[in-house]
Amino acid sequence: MSTPAHLRKRGWDKLTTTTPTGPSPATWTSTTWGPLAEAWDSGARNWTTSRRQSYANDLGDSRPLVAVTDNVNQAKGDQDPATWMPPYSSARCRYINEWVATKIRWRLTVDTAEKNALTSWTNSCSNVTITVVRAF
């Protein structure tokens, strides 16, 4: 799967700060901040098929879809911040902010382990205001 044009324009992997050095579809892919299986567990199972498709292809917000290296995407899988964080430490606060924005945008729940991890990780982040337009 090649990386969609709107992601290639961003030119780098937000989770590892890797910059692509040429067309190499085998090593680049697109992913969502909130994996589909994790969204399902957080409330998407109650959505219509149309809303789940909208979540998976959300182009109404610049945050949810990102270009990443294939190995990072595979490592992340369907995990939430309780069990996976970006390997590059300077990407973690951005990941947390965009994870939270996605959860708010789509009115998804946060389980206890996820909340504890987010709270713990944010202790090392700057205070930022997250602006979100709800998807519905």
Q: How would DSSP label each residue in 100-126?
A: HHHHHHTT----HHHHHHHHHHHTTS-
The full set of domain ranges for the chain reads 5-122
Lowest model confidence (mean pLDDT) among 5-14, 59-68, 105-114: 5-14
Q: Tell me, what's the pLDDT at 32?
A: 61
Q: Is the model's pLDDT at 56 over the cut of 80? A: yes
For residue 29, what pLDDT band results from cuts at 50, 70 and 90?
low
Q: What is the mean pLDDT of residues 113-131?
A: 94
* CA 63/CA 76 separation, integer angstroms: 17
Type of residue at 94: R
